[in-house]
Amino acid sequence: MLFGTLLEEIYMDLPLGYHIQRSTIKGEQAASKTKLVCKLHKSIYGLKQASRQWFTTFANVLLQIGFSQSKSDYSLFTKGTGSSFIALLVYVDNIIIASANTSLISSLKKALQDSFKLKDLGTLHYFLGLEITRSKKGIFLNQRKYTLSLLEDTGFLGSQPTTLPMQPHLKLNSTDGDLLPDITQYRRLVGRLLYLTLSRPDITFCVHKLSQFLSKPRTPHLDVVHYFLRYLKGTLGQGIFLSSTSSLKLHAFSDADWATCLDTRCSTTGYYVFLGDSLVSWKSKKQGTVSKSSAESEYRALAAVASELTWLHYLLNDFQVQTGSTAVYCDNLAAIHIASNPQFHERTKHIELDCHFVREQVEAGLLRLVSVRTHQQLADIFTKALPLPSFRSILGKMGILNIYIPS
């Protein structure tokens, strides 16, 4: 298990950032005055300098002391191999350092102290709203404090809990019900719920569905939000468990719900990716174009998860982890056959780019498409609102836990 430490509030003596603004002067002489330099009066993210200038300076210091910057995630820096491996992740002015060697962490903090003013918060317990609990069995991530604050601000802290985030078979569209007189409340709530999906895969589909009506929310949409807040009341400490004994093999589940959007008839893509027994990536998203068949919508979902897996392969290489071939479970045999068919035909020529991409991954041995029965398709939780038995069964298989429930 990696040893983590957290640093924040890092300052350095740099000039304030500047903004280039186009002039509003009219006339023939305006060409010579088309650019004005304006001094910033408001800091960005609380920093004393422009955020881009801050990151460039910080990255240069790390590169000078031997770190390599990741190409898959520019905020990640790594150094060393084996027991001397150390990783650093930066978000604006908050930094996580992780290594199995505590002396390396101490040396890095000392090196950073020579260039910056640091505030060392010690072992990682809380980071940007994420609460981290560690044991010999693994790491548990949740946002209990953030959820409590959300419920308190909305007045739902004393509400009656529900067992599901959204009622099964509920059909939402953009025309039923009255428009909300004040849409800011709805937008603010959905915005805060989006951040909660960082550690709550169980609410991803519901929040994704509600976010589709931000432009013109109506009373039925707000009613669903209120129902959803009652679900959060009953699952305050729910989060993700990352096992310390898990294998380092990737496998994924991919699914699509065909033409479920009542306004556009677009399908919904849902997938999640495991690293061994630990859930590391998931997504629920409405597809950008209308699919002519369920097989086509499933194939677009396969293309989406293939892109995610390609990125994860690159990211894991930065951590010196070789994953090999990845099994992708899909419950649509037609989509699997398209990926194995070397010839395009009339039914697939309009999705040729997706076909090429997935097929190349299969031929290269990076993906193995595996058929799975519909009732065993765990990605269903990201494409539709499920009844309670199916919902709870999938949560257990995904490693979603609530350590705050009395045993």
Q: pLDDT tens digit string along 232-242?
A: 999 998 999 99
Domain boundaries, the chain: 3-128, 142-237, 247-372
pLDDT of residue 18: 32
- CA dist 182 and 366 (Å) reads 49
C-beta of residue 232 within 8 angstroms of C-beta of residue 126: no
- CA dist 272 and 329 (Å) reads 10
Q: Mean per-residue pLDDT for 266-287?
A: 93
**Strand 117-123 with 94-99, pairing:** unpaired
Vertex 262: Cα angle to 260 and 266 (nearest 5): 50
Cβ atoms within 10 Å, residue 349: 9
Q: Tell me how far the alpha carbon of residue 195 is from its chain's centroid.
A: 9
The candidate with the shortest Cα–Cα distance to 205, out of 164, 262, 177, is: 164
- CA dist 47 and 51 (Å) reads 7
Burial degree of 136 (CB within 10 A; 0-12, 13-18, 19+): exposed
The pLDDT tens digits for 177-194 are 999 999 999 999 999 999
Q: Mean per-residue pLDDT for 265-285?
A: 93
The Cα-based distances of 151 to 144, 155, 236 in angstroms read: 11, 6, 10
User: Which phi and psi (to 5°) does residue 291 adopt?
Assistant: -95, 140
DSSP string, 337-357: HHHH-SS--TTTGGGHHHHHH
C-beta of residue 241 within 8 angstroms of C-beta of residue 140: yes
Q: Mean per-residue pLDDT for 341-352?
A: 59
On the question of pLDDT at 14 being above 70, the answer is no
pLDDT band at 23, cuts 50/70/90? very low
Q: Mean per-residue pLDDT for 96-108?
A: 91
On the question of pLDDT at 64 being above 70, the answer is yes
C-beta of residue 337 within 8 angstroms of C-beta of residue 359: no
Q: Which of 35-44, 148-157, 275-284, 397-406 has the lowest mean pLDDT?
A: 35-44
Vertex 190: Cα angle to 185 and 193 (nearest 5): 130
On the question of pLDDT at 344 being above 70, the answer is no
- CA dist 95 and 59 (Å) reads 12
C-beta of residue 26 within 8 angstroms of C-beta of residue 34: no
Domain 247-372 has CATH 2.40.128.20: no
pTM, whole model, 2 decimals? 0.83
Please state whether 317 falls in left (phi above 0), alpha (psi between -120 and 50) or beta.
alpha
pLDDT of residue 17: 35
pLDDT higher at 351 or 175:
175
Q: What is the mean pLDDT of the chain?
A: 85
How much of the chain exceeds pLDDT 90, in percent?
55
pLDDT of residue 382: 92
Q: Mean per-residue pLDDT for 132-158?
A: 93
